[in-house]
Amino acid sequence: MEMTLRWYGSKFDTVTLQQIRQIPGVTGVITTLYDTQPGEVWSRERIRALKDEVEAAGLHIAGIESVNIHDDIKTGKGKRDEYIANYIQTLENLGLEDIHLVCYNFMPVFDWTRTELARVLPDGSTALAYTQQAVDALNPEEMFNSIAGDMNGTVMPGWEPERMAKVKELFAMYKDIDDEKLFANLKYFLEAIMPVCNKYDIKMAIHPDDPAWSVFGLPRIIINEENILRMMKMVDDPHNGVTFCSGSYGTNLKNDLPHMIRSLKGRIHFAHVRNLKFHSPDNFEEAPHISRCGSFDMYEIVKALYDIGFDGPIRPDHGRMIWGEVAMPGYGLYDRALGATYIQGLWEAIEKSEARK
């Protein structure tokens, strides 16, 4: 495994590459061209400039998160084929620049959903949190405004203001889309891109839907073991794989995370490792990474990744805001750096105890 950190680019991130370089053990970043729109072709020049910037700081690009998918592709409408052709061109350009991992999601309208961006924890830190009650009380169009005040002046992935301005239109597009149609549209997309992925050895790593159930009546399919296995079988190619995100699959307490990891052997290309603390099955917050601070056994999660021979990038996922930091909620420097060292500590302990057996 390689320890990495997500970085949004110098124009958008409060964290610098120089700071990331100083986190012990972190050698790569997971990044993106944050100002591109879904459907747009990423030029080789821009990809190369990003790569040069990262490499000049002594790091490398371990993968892209995300190349976002246009809603016409998810709904199978409008200019789907044109946008798929553009996506293929972007993948080709990434491949030519020697980038071999792409994280994406197939969530309708909203990317991840949280109802609070700054829930105050007993120690005075703040974390992202979710209650179903708050979602049920909201009209989807109010969702963005209800959390925008806590974004600390940043643009949050999946919650770009231009996108949120079109929420009504987006909901209308998905009116006749159910889980089966979404699966069929995902299959169509994956079948179209597999040749270019094979040509350049690009691993596609779908991110789970977060929370792992339907919100606002929208279809959500990447939510549990059964559905991911279905997705992998329907386009049975090792380049069609997953981002295993413990915090997203873990939103549903029915998901047995270590078991899921074992069943996905060979197809987990990227891992997001974080902990959640549940107050009830539909009221949780994003806890510090350490097991005893939350509801998950992080040792068992990392052990399962170790046992399946996972050798891709891991990133500590969302962190809390601590020590007075003002940053994109979930994406400050300090708590993620603590997470990165903790996960590496678990990994080292597992590796050494296995070697002594």
Give the catalytic positions in this structure: 207, 245, 272, 317-318, 331
Q: Which of 31, 75, 93, 105 binds ligand DNO (CB under 6 A)?
A: 105
Q: What is the largest CA-CA distance in the chain?
A: 59
In terms of CB distance, is 28 or 157 closer to ligand DNO? 157
Kindly state the smallest distance separating residue 300's Cβ from ligand DNO, in Å: 21
Q: Is residue 289 involved in binding ligand DNO (CB under 6 A)?
A: no
In terms of CB distance, is 163 or 207 closer to ligand DNO? 207
Provide the residue count of the chain.
357
Q: Is residue 74 involved in binding ligand DNO (CB under 6 A)?
A: no
Q: Phi, psi at residue 291, to the nearest 5°?
A: -50, -50
Q: Is residue 339 involved in binding ligand DNO (CB under 6 A)?
A: no
In terms of CB distance, is 105 or 291 closer to ligand DNO? 105
Q: Is residue 330 involved in binding ligand DNO (CB under 6 A)?
A: yes
State the residue for tokens 């700054």: 118
Q: Is residue 104 involved in binding ligand DNO (CB under 6 A)?
A: yes
Q: Which residues, numbered 19-38, are part of the site for ligand DNO (CB under 6 A)?
A: none
189-215 b/e (C-beta count within 10 Å ≥ 16 → b): bbebbbebbeebebbbbbbbbbbbeeb
Residue sitting closest to ligand DNO (CB):
66
Q: Which residues, numbered 202-221, are part of the site for ligand DNO (CB under 6 A)?
A: 207
Kindly state the smallest distance separating residue 33's Cβ from ligand DNO, in Å: 14
Q: Is residue 111 involved in binding ligand DNO (CB under 6 A)?
A: yes
Q: Which of 66, 93, 115, 275 binds ligand DNO (CB under 6 A)?
A: 66
Q: Which of 87, 110, 112, 249 binds ligand DNO (CB under 6 A)?
A: 112
Under 8 Å between Cβ of 175 and 140:
no
**Interface positions with ligand DNO (CB under 6 A):** 65-66, 103-105, 111-112, 157-158, 207, 330
